[in-house]
Amino acid sequence: MALPRDRALLVKAARLYYEDEMSQDEIAETLGVSRSNISRMLTDARAQGIVQIKIVEQANRDAALERAIRELLPVKNIRVARTLNKLDEFTGVGALGAEALIERTRPNTTIAVSWGSTLQAMVNALDSDYQPGIRLVPLVGGMTALSSGSTGEDLIRTMASKMGATFSTLLAPVVVRSPEAHKVFINEPSVSDVIAQAANAELAVVGIGSKGASSSMELLHSAGLPASQYDALTKDMAGDIGARFYDSNGKELDHGWSDRIVGISLEQLRRIPFVIGMAAGKDKALGVIGAIRGGFVSEVIISSSCAFEIIRILSDAKQTRVAS
């Protein structure tokens, strides 16, 4: 057993190494001993329980699925919520979304947000957290009749209250009936100014829609599109972000749709320094694949069912290529 003075020295060396992040050479010079002694002292500190190292895996994340997705898609930052049923999916993804948002938020940051059930779950999971100078701005119109959660204005107002932030509102529909109506909204300063703020945000949080997902299909149905335009959009559609549709490779699909959306473009979204994309449920898999390939998101937060479906889709596609 080490003598009391030896233990005190071990504690000192351990603090300098683990807390002050000094190198072993620097510690040796500070304590007046050789570098080899420092190495032995740090080993002894762990052996005696002075230093205890724990590897903590969050119970609500699935590290194996995260690794699997990284191997299949060009995404560095990913969080997969370990969820057992549909009831847990939004709660799990929302909790990880709130965690990611707080980690990325810095004082004097402008954050652009979309709307929908997944983002509402994130807002529900947020704890009160105040940092000075935070401003929230919508990146797409928030007036909607869809049954996918609160409107953009409701969501951003609640989010601002929890974060102690100021906020802007975008009093315009997500999609308007004609290009002419779109011009009227875009030429209104109260609308164009907010869209400009969103395009110049430092951080964005968005929901990822997908072909077959109820909210995305409802959005298309609500637009009153001619059958030919509807068929053209849905034929190659993989997903959408902020009502902007894209295929499985992340190529935007237009077909006369883009000049009816009140919000930032996918190219403007891509230029935001960091974008957190969220999706819950296996029906969002195609949308997530396209969002990653298109470079629209910097980090994805998805449920385990969505991750499994992504792996299935990409594995099937690989087998088809090999067979051909």
Structural domain boundaries, residue 180: 63-323
Question: In which region does residue 149 sit, left (phi positive, over 0), alpha (psi from -120 to 50) or beta (all else)?
Answer: left
* 40 is a domain residue: yes
Domain total for the chain?
Answer: 2
How many other C-beta atoms are found inside a 10 Å radius of the C-beta of residue 324?
A: 5
CA–CA separation, 141 vs 242, rounded Å?
9
pLDDT tens for the chain, 324 residues long, are 344 448 888 888 888 988 787 888 889 889 988 888 888 888 888 888 888 765 444 448 999 999 999 999 999 999 999 987 777 899 999 999 999 999 999 999 999 999 888 999 999 999 887 889 999 999 998 755 554 444 678 899 999 999 999 999 988 888 888 888 888 988 999 999 999 999 999 999 999 999 877 777 777 777 777 777 778 888 889 999 998 999 999 999 987 788 888 999 999 999 999 999 999 999 999 999 999 999 999 999 999 999 999 999 999 877 777 666
Let me know whether 283 and 217 are in one domain. yes
CATH number of the structural domain spanning residue 16: 1.10.10.60
Let me know whether 70 and 39 are in one domain: no
pTM, 2 dp: 0.78
49: left (phi over 0), alpha (psi -120 to 50) or beta: left
- Read off the CATH number of the domain in which 311 is found: 3.40.50.1360
Is 58 inside a domain boundary?
Answer: no
3-state class percentages of the chain: helix first, strand second, coil last, to nearest 5 = 50, 15, 35
CB 174 within 8 A of CB 219: yes
For residue 89, tell me if it sits in a domain: yes
In 29-170, the DSSP E strands lie at 77-81, 110-113, 135-138, 166-167
**Residue 282: partners with Cβ closer than 8 Å, 6 or more residues away:** 305, 306, 308, 309
Helices (H), 112-178: 117-125, 152-163
